[in-house]
Structure 1
């Protein structure tokens, strides 16, 4: 059973069309011949973005490194988008070299992301270099085996946060990671792939219904509702620790 891909022929949601067009214009003029291709991933790519709460997630593939000008170019785009498209909460960038994307070492990283989680909006579509993927433990662990590190980092950030907006942002990020990681631990059994974090949580409950309360609490964190620090840390210490152990147990069993 092959995993589904995002329909690249479906138009983007109306509010995001001019933003995508302007993004392409900025990157093509800023990178010129060094630019190979541009991809979107996340909710805008899936056409499920919600104005006021969704990021614009971008992958920029170039022929050679542009570290000397990267910060200036990306910061300019982010500043312009804050002014022109305030409903886009953030513009986030990932960068890669063509040679790295097409490398055999990138099959479960760039290959999987471009093939099943992104859409090409400019240039040669490198997703076509890869065949369709089947659900596997290799994919699951590549994308979420780092959940232990994420829990540690965001537990510390939440404990140290002194601004409400920083606390809510951290809550949402770690909740999204844990919901997706929860499904990934059962993906090789379920034979599917879901990107929406809430759907990941619901599908996970088919295998671990006893975790209903924890999944519901992660959904509350994801909603952006302010929760007391001690309660958030309690979720990370409890469910986060359990999930880390599940990954280690599955890795020991499957390898």
Structure 2
């Protein structure tokens, strides 16, 4: 049975329950237009058509929700072969150049993958879904044309975020090794984002929709797990601004995180192992 069309659009789905790509170049605000133009030119100059298959924007800028001075510039590059250390160095240099040139962004990040990886069966419901549904084409042919349409089901939940138990020990090790508040804020921001998105995808098949908004994600989660709602809201707050508070790190890595990993495995299973 088809759901109400307006409700589907509000939840990031079409009337048949399939994901609608969340970003578009037409949604980029005037404040970030020159950033996108600069990124496009910088990518083309640094990589060139013989190496670069396609480039994509993702995050708040193509969603039209970016805030000048606070939002990141997030890019994904699909290369015609597997990335090399030299490619990573070129991406790092481009990141630094874009961050230097544009005060509107709070840093730039570039993900590098080979097209073979992005289109592989192993990544069909993780990186493939990410490209097809959360990335906005910027340069080159769109890989989404070679990928399926997606539904917010348990398979997608498992393959996107069913690896939280593997991440927790790494985060704890980083927290133990951190010597500055800046390091702790960076860690809590990244881990908080991951936990909120994992909490959301835990309930996504029941909610039957998609959102990338962290605050909304936490509230959707809280509808199904009200006893954990305040913890997820705290994770969303850490995701937005970062926190050096030891109590917040304990909440993320020792309280919410372990419970969420166990509940996720019980509900959706474990993500297919990667090499």
- Taking structure 1 as the reference length, the TM-score comes to 0.90
Range moving further from structure 2, 194-203 or 78-87:
78-87
Alignment of 1:141-220 (within 5 A): 141-220=158-237
Work out the CA distance in 2 between the residues paired with 1:160 and 1:10: 43
Work out the CA distance in 1 between the residues paired with 2:22 and 2:112: 21
Q: Which residue of 2 aligns with 1:135?
A: 152
Alpha-carbon spacing, 1:7–1:93, altered in 2? closer, same or farther (3 Å): closer
Q: 1:114 aligns with which of 131, 141, 145?
A: 131
Matched residue SS, 1:108 = coil
After superposition, the CA RMSD in angstroms is 2.2
Q: Cα distance, 1:227 vs. partner?
A: 4.4
The answer to whether the 8 Å contact 2:21/2:132 transfers is: yes
Work out the CA distance in 2 between the residues paired with 1:181 and 1:66: 28
Count of residue correspondences: 254
Range moving further from structure 2, 91-100 or 113-122:
91-100
The answer to whether the 8 Å contact 1:150/1:174 transfers is: no
The answer to whether the 8 Å contact 1:58/1:93 transfers is: yes
Q: Cα distance, 1:9 vs. partner?
A: 5.0
Q: Which residue of 1 aligns with 2:79?
A: 62
Work out the CA distance in 2 between the residues paired with 1:222 and 1:100: 28
Q: Which residue of 2 aligns with 1:15?
A: 31
Q: Which residue of 2 aligns with 1:3?
A: 19
Matched residue SS, 2:223 = coil
Q: Cα distance, 1:204 vs. partner?
A: 0.7
Alpha-carbon spacing, 1:110–1:225, altered in 2? closer, same or farther (3 Å): closer
Q: Which residue of 1 aligns with 2:100?
A: 83
Q: Cα distance, 1:97 vs. partner?
A: 2.1
Q: Which residue of 2 aligns with 1:126?
A: 143
- Taking structure 2 as the reference length, the TM-score comes to 0.84
Range moving further from structure 2, 65-74 or 241-250:
65-74
**2:40 paired with 1:24:** yes
Please list every run of 5 or more consecutive structure 1 residues that lacks an aligned counterpart in the other structure: none
Q: Cα distance, 1:36 vs. partner?
A: 1.2
Q: Cα distance, 1:133 vs. partner?
A: 0.8
Please list every run of 5 or more consecutive structure 2 residues that lacks an aligned counterpart in the other structure: 1-16
